[in-house]
Chain A
């Protein structure tokens, strides 16, 4: 198991290194100059050059990249070109909001998806099934930039239940979590339905029924528990996506998360902030993936021994 863990961590490090190098070169390849964005055209050539030197942008790209990795080893993410603030401070400010929203959205998704998926599976080809899957289809089809304002209109403006936007208490989390969680619930409920249907046709389910167990016990205890593994994998991956920030939802609800910071930094060509955000996002993905691999290996010994068990 230790050997397996070491291999996975090593490959995660390689992936992270590759991502960082790729993003570094890509963001520099995109047209647009951060010095232009800050100084405007009226600045003299000498002032532009002075600013380029002050920001370290006059160095060759490879030197900048090398310096970036040297700083990373000292946990120094640099400072923002625009606000001149330490990036670690900016990320730490945003991270709680992102985590809060990601976890809340996941809770909403699970709360909707599991009952829907189970009902659709045990009432296969009935109105219940069609209703649940139609809801799922609608959930997947409605874009967040539309759903967000509609929820605000109904629940904030008409009913006055929640604040329109901002991060101000538990009430302000509800609408963004529903907006983000609904789309995820749609995917998840389909997954729950299909895996549960597969499991319900297994021999051990027939045995459980033959033993005279109640239907709820058969479905929830023997069926759902065995159907969970792929669902948990999907949930883990989605958590990675959510930790990367949900730009549209964050924008609609003025939620101060990582996604919004990333997009703002890309638009301003704030290279160090983009790098740091991508580092954090890839770290979240890699962490979730490694955890998923470990859980799989723990559950299924064939994986950690390369199929020799």
Chain B
């Protein structure tokens, strides 16, 4: 008893902070450089950006509303709300102005600063401050999707110009202010509306993350758990698990220059042979949406009326048989995936499903950088991956246009379809959003018919929390904005 009491005192008592468990550690709080998901999500809390997105991924005003004065000239007007920068020993009561917007974007546009976000806004030719609340952006070329690119957090101009480092601190105007980053894997923020403190704790191991939640060392975690741990948590008293459909798109990609996979019948046979319902039911807990296109049907440019390739092993065998393949003379394909255990598990199931129709799959998994290098170089026959955080339909040009073969874009499968090229170009020239959406729908029909990808599903989001945690909501892209409203009830 005495030993137990003494040892119990070794574990620190919880205070009033709300603790959020992260599966990967944020790398930088500087929105000009952060690219990893954890940093980007925390930066959304710390900084305001000019533009945001609604649930249909339409760009909507955040700090600023806008109008296109010409196709290459956009005027942004700052709103009143959300413009108070965090007070710090470097600055007091400073309000965000257009000078701060210009300083932030000018910095990113300078190639010598090597910002990874430069590529997304490199069409900006010039930025001119009109007055404290109005700023003009001039573009090299017309792009109706342009406002959707201005999603980088705004920093104070003086701090940018003085070369202050933001990687381990923040001076944003967001809903949260930065408190400290005492060690790798622990960041403390304060909600500005009520001074509630939040601790973001990195716990890499999924099992340990769950144990910490059960033990009360963290209050909330989101995504990145194997299905069996989610099921386990659902059965625990004193805790809740909430799900929501997401928009991150998982697919199987093909090398369309490969002698075997360039044959339409082979790709169709693979699409018919995969039993997505079974995988979703038994591996993903039955709460995942099947996908028929890169954009979900509720996206403003999505197509809800696409006809899916339903599981039909008979049809798959028939298609293969016409091409001279059968169980005795199987088709052999190499399938590459990452080393993530969950991805390997799904790939193994697909391997088994394809074997049942006479396709022998050689499954290979690699660490992320090697895998990514291989698919970029076209060293694959078939691979599976996900597109994460897709908001803008300009993704179609990057992924499917014949000129977008890496390094120019992400047409990894070397897909070449003049009709698709033409539809992409037509959509980009569309005058209004409805017109562009219509063309994008046709484009998605063509893609589903010709199958450069086999669409699998949109990954669901979920959070697990102690029952005392209330008010958290899941965002469609998995951001942490729900923390703006979360509170402890007891």
Contact = CB atoms under 8 A, between A and B. Distances in A.
Interface centre among A90, A174, A254, A269 (most CB of B within 10 A): A254
A238 B360 CA distance: 46
B122 A47 contact: yes
Interface stretch (B57-65, B343-351, B362-370, B450-458): B362-370
Given A149-B207, A169-B10, A254-B185, A51 B116 contact: yes
B114 interface: yes
Interface in A17-61: 30-33, 36-48, 50-51, 54-55
B92 interface: no
A128 interface: no
A162 B10 contact: yes
Interface residues of B, number: 56
Interface centre among B116, B167, B202 (most CB of A within 10 A): B116
25 contacts: A32-B370, A33-B373, A39-B35, A39-B116, A44-B122, A45-B407, A48-B407, A50-B111, A55-B114, A82-B36, A85-B167, A85-B168, A90-B184, A152-B211, A153-B211, A156-B215, A162-B11, A165-B205, A165-B212, A171-B11, A252-B208, A254-B202, A254-B203, A254-B205, A254-B208
Given A30-B369, A149-B208, A36 B12 contact: no
Interface of B: 4, 7-12, 27-28, 30, 33, 35-36, 111-114, 116, 118-120, 122, 165, 167-168, 183-186, 201-205, 207-208, 211-212, 214-215, 217, 367-370, 372-374, 376, 398, 406-410, 412
Nearest to A167: B183
Nearest to A43: B119
A163 to B, nearest CB: 5
A114 interface: no
A84 interface: yes
A306 to B, nearest CB: 47
Contact of A161 (B8, B114, B122, B211): B8
B27 A82 contact: yes
Contact of B12 (A40, A85, A163): A163
B374 A164 contact: no
Nearest to B9: A171
B8 A160 contact: yes
Contacts of B184: 90, 93-94, 256, 261
B167 A84 contact: yes
A160 B372 CA distance: 43
Q: 5 tightest A-B contacts by CB?
A: A171-B10, A32-B369, A54-B114, A161-B7, A41-B410
Contact of A149 (B186, B211, B406): B211
Given A44-B119, A164-B211, A251 B204 contact: yes
A159 interface: yes
A46 B114 CA distance: 11
A149 B337 CA distance: 27
A83 interface: yes
Nearest to A261: B184
Contacts of B167: 83-85
